[in-house]
């Protein structure tokens, strides 16, 4: 029997069709605030109810939603909820559609990516040439991506191999709205930042080559 998902009074008969619809809504709305009087407020209110950690995300109540540019991917959007007490936290609309939480390993890798974001941005600024280093296609800065030559996961696993006391709880960054390490894990973060600086081999690629690399990385999990 197929799945039926109801969000904002609209029925979807597969997670894929639901995801395609939500993605389209976010793209059409673009960067904006969605307050209680916004026509899409209750759609996003229903959407966040499907989050497996909805109590943590909603807290004391929902005041507004925000669609923001993802700081790690200029072509992607991040969703954030503002609670009734003024506090804010990001949430994944894909997790809401799926109804299943991310694994601790996924949060760990996300925090590791956030920790080295400045290194990645510095590399882009210093080495952008206007061409993809994989296929030689001409690109502009806005559509460029910084790739790990040996994939980010391979590098992260090399660092994690043999480490003890690996973090399993994380925070959300207050302005970048990404998963970050807790302050108690600052030494782990610093060790990772140094390891990444000394071992990461980076290159600038076009979106298409980046997507090929990401699909390969997922298939290796």
pLDDT digits (tens, 9 = 90+) for 40-97: 999 999 999 999 889 989 999 999 999 998 766 666 788 999 999 998 888 889 889 9
| Same structural domain, 116 and 214 | yes
- What Cα–Cα distance (Å) separates residue 79 from each residue in 17, 57, 82, 124, 204? 19, 11, 10, 25, 27
Sequence-separated (6 or more) residues with CB below 8 Å from residue 90: 78, 79, 80, 81, 172, 177, 178
Query: Token pair 């601790």 is at which residue?
Result: 104
| Same structural domain, 41 and 140 | no
Answer for the pair 44, 65: CB distance below 8 angstroms, yes or no. Answer: yes
> Domain boundary at 83, 98, 113, which?
98
| Same structural domain, 74 and 118 | no
- What Cα–Cα distance (Å) separates residue 28 from each residue in 6, 69, 164, 219? 20, 13, 45, 31
Q: Say how far apart CA 15 and CA 12 lie, in whole Å.
A: 7
What pTM, to 2 d.p., does this model score? 0.63
Answer for the pair 202, 149: CB distance below 8 angstroms, yes or no. Answer: yes
Domain span including residue 204:
104-219
| Same structural domain, 215 and 120 | yes
Domain count, the chain: 2
| Same structural domain, 79 and 186 | no
> Domain boundary at 76, 98, 120, which?
98
Sequence-separated (6 or more) residues with CB below 8 Å from residue 149: 201, 202, 203
pLDDT digits (tens, 9 = 90+) for 104-119: 888 899 899 999 999 9
């Amino acid at each position: 029997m197929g799945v039926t998902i109801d969000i904002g009074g609209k029925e979807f008969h597969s997670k894929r069709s639901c995801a395609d619809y939500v993605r389209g809504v976010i793209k059409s709305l673009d960067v904006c605030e969605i307050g209680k009087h916004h026509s899409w407020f209750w759609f996003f209110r229903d959407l966040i109810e499907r989050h497996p950690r909805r109590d943590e995300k909603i807290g004391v109540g929902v005041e507004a939603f925000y669609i923001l540019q993802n700081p790690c991917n200029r072509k992607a959007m991040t969703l954030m909820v503002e609670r009734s007490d003024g506090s804010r936290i990001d949430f994944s609309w894909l997790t809401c559609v799926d109804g299943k939480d991310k694994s601790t390993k996924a949060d760990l890798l996300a925090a590791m990516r956030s920790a080295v974001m400045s290194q990645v941005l510095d590399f882009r600024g210093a080495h952008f040439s206007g061409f993809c280093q994989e296929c030689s296609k001409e690109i502009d800065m806005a559509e460029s991506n910084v790739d790990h030559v040996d994939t980010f996961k391979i590098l992260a696993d090399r660092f994690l191999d043999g480490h003890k006391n690996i973090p399993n709880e994380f925070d959300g960054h207050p302005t970048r709205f990404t998963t970050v390490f807790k302050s108690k894990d600052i030494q782990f973060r610093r060790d990772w930042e140094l390891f990444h600086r000394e071992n990461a081999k980076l290159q600038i690629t076009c979106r298409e080559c980046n997507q090929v690399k990401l699909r390969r990385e997922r298939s290796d999990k």
